[in-house]
A and B are shown apart, each in its own frame.
Chain A
């Protein structure tokens, strides 16, 4: 890549190594004084070739690989995958397994949203909120560890069911932890909606209207903060969501403050749902049998990750290994909302706007050929190989 020297343009580079970024990505902001006049993004620093590697592993092994796409929403990736594979194999996991999957999904959502709350506060220079929310996040991490034995990659799912069961003792500790978190979350809600200096950084910053969010195909809390009631959990319920329906949380504002409000209200919704699942946990088997060879077919599996809609395309060829697995993560859908709204903002707002969509860089880095000309482009494997050799020479 040759560096282009354009005079009279003051470009602030952020990344790939920068204190604001916890994962590598590269952004270039053209500024005039403090005001941004242009923004570009370059991703791909943590491309790991996971989609290609899935074709060399069998259906069971892929579960563990795909769970490691994201370090924060690991369970939801595994859930999307097992739901897809179960649809291909035409089996259904028992109700108790589905309920436990949903339970872990919601616990994971809590841990993800609390992590985000801290990161977003830190980007705005509010380190006290950062420290407090991460301290309280430990509660839900401990609950997940007590349930599955792991803090991050819980490995709860297996094809056709779940690996873990929830007994009364665990249910009691979850209820206790959730009640504690509920009390703390009420406090955070008060802070982000009443603290004047904090509101000064979030109110009317990066406001995205309903139409704009719709046009840019925003997903998850980012879209819901602009008033779009888009949530796979209620649009196309999966796992145990048909039995335990959720209320879709939306906000009107569309600015950063609304994204805080939406995510914190979603925390309350998750607390309610967890109590409900624990109260009405169906009894029965935890697993059902799934054949080694999956019949030839293709399927789309959609779930609601903490960041938005997660989309899996699975194609089987009748063997033990998948023919193709395509993952579309919510982060990649939301990048357009950042880059389109950067122009005109202050440089100081950018870290919070970037954090506002809760980006996950390693989720974003799939193979994408950006169509710079108007001709469509299809790259063969040999083309890609040659491109790789040339690029890294």
Chain B
């Protein structure tokens, strides 16, 4: 079901724009509800994420002393814009990506990192001590998970011998699920996604019992709302990417819904299983184990392809 949609509609309503924001809130709800159920709580009602965002948008935005006001206002907007842009290159909801070109995988990954970068800058922009520590931790964590996550997504790209997300998706649909042939890559990708979204146990950058809310401590009202929507959107995109690459691709909306929700179930389970890692433990884990196994997986893929070409 590879429909093409007029660009303006794609940008503003579907699959970008409003529909993407809505699905971001929906996925946030599912995530929160699942984690709550795993922790033996009741959890939020279905409209709670929307209510949170509306409340934040209606509130006064306080610009604290000592920040650069333009940067303070611009950063949340840039973060959300980057996340929304990234969605245009991904086969959202099982439809063909709105825009596509050779190498859009790399661009998408960089756009996804914009979010983390903006949060880090937002923290560094402030003079609040919790924000500064949060910013340091956010950026440290960025450097630790980014390389293994990239390596994990490179595996499928090399097998499909293309850098285009849409083509990799097509490849995944027509071949054996890559989770079977590259299980290590899948695990690294899922955990990398959790690190990217700062979900527990990788929530040291916003550990509330230490540094209140990390880099976003000084944000209130609109800025905070935009950052939160941005994160929700990134959650949907991240899930889509991993599903498209490793779980047999995305053919139509039902497959999309089913597979992403299964993946969300897995991440929610992981979120409630572990205690928070210290930032030095996070970095150590990624570089000592994550990067190494991802590299081994990548080498195995390359060698496999090489041998396959010989015979």
Binding site for B on A (CB under 8 A): 10-13, 18-20, 31, 33-34, 121-129, 131-132, 135, 195, 197-198, 200-201, 346-351
Contact = CB atoms under 8 A, between A and B. Distances in A.
Nearest to A201: B275
Interface residues of B, number: 28
A25 B20 CA distance: 44
Given A20-B208, A346-B278, 13 more contacts: A12-B133, A13-B129, A20-B210, A34-B280, A123-B209, A125-B207, A128-B38, A128-B273, A135-B40, A195-B275, A201-B277, A347-B210, A348-B278
Contacts of B129: 10-13
Q: Looking at chain A's contact residues, is the secondary structure mostly helix, strand, loop, or mixed? A: helix
Given A132-B40, A135-B40, A122 B209 contact: yes
Interface in B122-141: 129-130, 133, 136
A131 B40 contact: yes
Contacts of A19: 208-209, 212
A128 B278 CA distance: 17
Interface of B: 38-41, 129-130, 133, 136, 200-201, 203-204, 207-212, 272-281
Nearest to A354: B209
Contacts of A13: 129
B49 to A, nearest CB: 19
A377 B276 CA distance: 46
B227 to A, nearest CB: 18
A121 B272 CA distance: 12
Given A12-B133, A132-B39, A348-B207, A125 B276 contact: yes
Contact of A127 (B39, B130, B281): B39
A18 B276 CA distance: 18
- The 4 A-B pairs at the shortest CB distance, nearest first, are namely A125-B276, A126-B275, A20-B209, A131-B39
B133 A197 contact: no
Contacts of A34: 278-280
Given A19-B208, A125-B203, A201 B273 contact: no
Given A20-B208, A127-B39, A131-B40, A197 B201 contact: yes
A131 B275 contact: no
A55 B276 CA distance: 48
A278 to B, nearest CB: 29
Given A12-B130, A131-B39, A197-B201, A126 B212 contact: no
Contacts of B40: 131-132, 135
A127 B209 contact: no
B276 A349 contact: no
